[in-house]
Structure 1
């Protein structure tokens, strides 16, 4: 956990620290399960999400790549891969994965629009184009 912000109350800081500890415990548990069940989709997907939440973007990317290998028809797997690719500075691959997610049926435009994982690529015109495509589906 990083340094607390000047405006952060002790209660807020304590809660953030507790949440971080809980994530580390959950990751350790899931990594143990993955050692025994390396291809269990729920374990791989959960680890990918936790790694990303913790700022372990390369680990999250590896988990998301594995999910796409295990379930190539899953729009959620491709969406999560797009997030990880964006966070690791791979915009072209991120857009390719996001387009694949949409082609497979991903359709939550509001979530995509608000997803901070795409902050590195939101200014790119391709993001607006894909978002417009999703919004048009709901019009």
Structure 2
């Protein structure tokens, strides 16, 4: 049945001519054709691709209800065909879920993510596709499916523990440190705070040193306000700062320690770290004034004193530095 392709082509042409109402009407004819063919069990990969582009037309014309129905048609096609269209963004189940969610088709997004999870579970490999499991968790999270996200990240953490165990035997120190850091991330995402803190401590002991990444990593968002996380992080940062005493980088590490402690509400410890940063040459007063992590500190007289010292240091610094 070539009617689907014909109606689909006409809808695109009308859309390009800014004849939106007519384009929507024609796209409904496309949807009707798709539904008829699905009822007959007459589906193939080309039909799935038409359904995908139908959803795109509806979305561009801001007909969200129509777009949602189009994504449902597409999902029905894909499940029957057993393969994904080879064009457009929806060439993975995760891609389809993202687009369907954009148009409010939450049920389609969830089913697409379940299909992706089933696909990953069938992958036969001695090395699990960890990055794909990681991204799948975030897609569940974005779809408002927090429990599914934690479950997937729990599987990921279990797989990473096996990776870490294998790395202890032959991997380089840097590889072991990164492996432990990744394990800490996955444990945190899965809601396993104790496991995350233990793995993070081990990562620092193994030499993990990408402290800027740690400061910004969204994977640890659930731990930012946990005093234990702040203390583990700050201890590692300050230890590294001590090894750099008098060298470039010391002040920044002490400032990052201050941020970690301040976010957890450890005000006095945070101010101690900030004082160490200023004494080591930290002079970014503007950063101190506007950094959201330091909100609690701005109420303190001691903070104002440190801010003035940072400003004075900036004024004394040679031009160009």
Question: With structure 1 as the length reference, what TM-score do the two structures score?
Answer: 0.68
Residue in 2 that maps onto 1:5? none
Structure number with higher relative contact order (C-alpha < 8 Å, ≥ 6 residues apart)? 1
1:80-124 per-residue CA deviation (whole Å, 9 max, x = no partner) reads 111111111111111010000000000111101111111111111
Whole-Å separation in 1 of the counterparts to 2:196 and 2:155:
16
Root mean square deviation, CA, Å: 3.0
Bigger Rg, structure 1 or 2:
2
**Correspondence 1:53 to 2:135:** yes
1:63 to 159, 168, 189: 159
**1:50: how far off?**
2.1
Identify if the C-alpha distance between structure 1 residues 16 and 62 changes in structure 2 by more than 3 Å, giving closer, same or farther.
Answer: farther
**1:18: how far off?**
5.3
**Correspondence 1:100 to 2:202:** yes
Higher helix share: 2
1:11-54 per-residue CA deviation (whole Å, 9 max, x = no partner) reads xxxx87557349x9xx958x64xx3x51xxxx44xx22221121
Question: With structure 2 as the length reference, what TM-score do the two structures score?
Answer: 0.32
Aligned residues: 116
1:75 to 171, 177, 185: 177
Whole-Å separation in 1 of the counterparts to 2:130 and 2:198:
19
Identify if the C-alpha distance between structure 1 residues 108 and 21 changes in structure 2 by more than 3 Å, giving closer, same or farther.
Answer: same
Whole-Å separation in 2 of the counterparts to 1:18 and 1:134:
43
4+ runs deviating over 4 angstroms: 15-19
Contact preservation (8 Å) 1:57, 1:88: yes
Contact preservation (8 Å) 2:184, 2:195: yes
**Correspondence 1:124 to 2:124:** no
Q: Which runs of 5+ in 1 are unaligned?
A: 1-8
Whole-Å separation in 2 of the counterparts to 1:114 and 1:76:
16
